[in-house]
Structure 1
């Protein structure tokens, strides 16, 4: 099969498109003919040598990627033959291997793809959608809410805008550049502003006419976060799920005592509860998409151009979820 392999940590150019052995499904596993593989900002940091939350350091060479969708074309021992031919999507967990024509995962990680989703959209919902469902646990949205969403043109931001509008909230979307801001407006935001314009906070205040924001959904950090938090009224919430604008390696995200809540990883899973909180959030995300309430934005790259996809993510030149297609 063809795959993207990383032989040495470093820049995007280190991602090599080459032939390698086909993976073999073990007991309880399925092998998926990959039609779409998700690319995450964390992938770019892992490529540079950041070890992240994985229990073991990344061993090289490796095939990056942890989100795949495709067709089950082989099953391992103890897996029912009924899985063969099914269109499935799966998050691979800490095991890499997604940037490839074939990927192996435990069958209990696989979900059948709803009929109204294509492979790339399914990948967006299993990763980005799952995270969005986790974030939304930490702020009640309704007609009385005013939600400020930095990076509203991104994969998570796109879904947050849609969800908040469906809930009846007033939605303020922030995006970098006029083109992205226009996409956010088209996605349903009540107001979309370019956060590269120094006057953007004044534009938001003028639009709201003195009404304060009630929640900031922040995956950016840095100056945009500080300006966004200043829009909150008493009792407002700053829900922090990332800090891409401040740099992935800059340590703790920007927090405001008594206002901010960091909801990354274990906090999100604990809130979801149940015997398998990850799967609970995945099912919620797929159900929202299947019902037509959430529609992910997807930007597609050929598998062989994974390096270009990484560069685009790192320079904020992408809109929506980035997906590789073999």
Structure 2
């Protein structure tokens, strides 16, 4: 079986294609033939060593979709041939087949294709917990979404708009701004040309936003705090531009008694009940057409290094999937 392996941390060139044997699924595990694999910035973090992998060498990738090949002892919810999708907190998806814990596997509805399934698990479940759990967005709220033309950003914009929020997005080019507008954003700020905090204050008549969703990190902090109303919430969920430097917690008081958090998807998927409930809500909004998962690029698994280069250079919008 072919898989992408990382033997040492570094740039995209460390991604190598190899023949591997993953064996049979153990108790509570399922072997899945991957029809599509999702590309995410977390893959870059693991490859570079910013996130420590369980061991070297390892196979990157945290989301995929395909068919059940075999099930391990004690698995009664799945049978060979079932259409499934998954997010896993331990990388393993860049392969023709993967061993997946059954508790993190879900049945993929017939209305949702494999590419969409692979592109939506990490990004879609992230959007779900950001909008429905971290801050429960309601009609009349105003939200700011950084990188609104990115994989998570496009989902956040559509879903937040469906929930009745006014959505302000940031993007880095006119093309990305147009894409964000087409996917739920009422206002889009070109952060390369405009002071986004000043524009947010202008758009909201000085009130500020109820919540800021920030997957950028260092480049947008602490200006993002200036976009919030009193008692607003700053939600960090990524660090594409680098990690946020340590800061004096009194800054939150000076900016308006703000709240801030960095929630993690694995914590929200700690129980089987959470996995099923969150996936069900995600599948409902996608299957109904409320949220579309734009897959803007498809590359063979063998071109994983090129996919990483495009992602890191910010050439991508929406989702990219790798096809084994």
TM-score range, shorter chain: 0.7 to 0.9
Name the stretch that deviates more: 252-261 or 190-199. 252-261
1:164 aligns with 2:163: no
Q: TM-score scaled to structure 2, two decimals?
A: 0.87
Residue 189 of structure 2 is matched in structure 1 by 193
Matches within 5 A, 1:291-310: 291-298=288-295, 299-310=297-308
Q: Say if 1:147 and 1:216, in contact at 8 Å, map to a contact too.
A: yes
Counterpart CA distance in 1 for 2:32 and 2:265 is 28
Name the stretch that deviates more: 183-192 or 27-36. 27-36
Residue 142 of structure 1 is matched in structure 2 by 138
- Deviation of residue 4 (structure 1)? 0.7
Residue 30 of structure 2 is matched in structure 1 by 30
Counterpart CA distance in 2 for 1:254 and 1:318 is 35
1:38 to 1:273, Cα distance in 2 relative to 1, 3 A = closer
Residue 220 of structure 1 is matched in structure 2 by 216
> Runs of 5+ in structure 2 lacking a partner?
none
Name the stretch that deviates more: 286-295 or 163-172. 286-295
Q: CA RMSD in A?
A: 2.7
Counterpart CA distance in 1 for 2:259 and 2:7 is 39
1:259-296 alpha-carbon deviations (Å, 9 max, x no partner)? 13213228963xx8866434443333223323332222
1:182 to 1:310, Cα distance in 2 relative to 1, 3 A = same
- Deviation of residue 165 (structure 1)? 0.7
Counterpart CA distance in 1 for 2:272 and 2:28 is 19
Residue 100 of structure 2 is matched in structure 1 by 105
Residue 124 of structure 2 is matched in structure 1 by 129
Counterpart CA distance in 2 for 1:138 and 1:77 is 36
Residue 287 of structure 1 is matched in structure 2 by 284
Q: Say if 1:122 and 1:286, in contact at 8 Å, map to a contact too.
A: no
Choose which of 315, 320, 324 in structure 1 pairs with 2:318.
Answer: 320
Choose which of 160, 174, 178 in structure 2 pairs with 1:178.
Answer: 174
1:164 to 1:17, Cα distance in 2 relative to 1, 3 A = same
- Deviation of residue 322 (structure 1)? 2.9
Q: Say if 1:220 and 1:242, in contact at 8 Å, map to a contact too.
A: yes
- Deviation of residue 20 (structure 1)? 2.4
Q: Say if 2:27 and 2:74, in contact at 8 Å, map to a contact too.
A: yes
Q: Say if 1:135 and 1:263, in contact at 8 Å, map to a contact too.
A: no
1:76 to 1:140, Cα distance in 2 relative to 1, 3 A = closer
Residue 39 of structure 2 is matched in structure 1 by 39
- Deviation of residue 134 (structure 1)? 1.4
- Deviation of residue 253 (structure 1)? 8.5
Match of 2:68, SS? strand
Residue 239 of structure 1 is matched in structure 2 by 235
Counterpart CA distance in 1 for 2:272 and 2:92 is 26
**Equivalent residue pairs, number:** 317
Name the stretch that deviates more: 43-52 or 83-92. 43-52
Name the stretch that deviates more: 162-171 or 221-230. 221-230
> Runs of 5+ in structure 1 lacking a partner?
none
Match of 1:244, SS? coil
Residue 14 of structure 2 is matched in structure 1 by 14
Counterpart CA distance in 1 for 2:207 and 2:72 is 58
Match of 1:141, SS? coil
Name the stretch that deviates more: 25-34 or 220-229. 220-229
1:303 to 1:152, Cα distance in 2 relative to 1, 3 A = same
1:112 to 1:161, Cα distance in 2 relative to 1, 3 A = same
Counterpart CA distance in 1 for 2:246 and 2:266 is 15
Match of 2:147, SS? coil
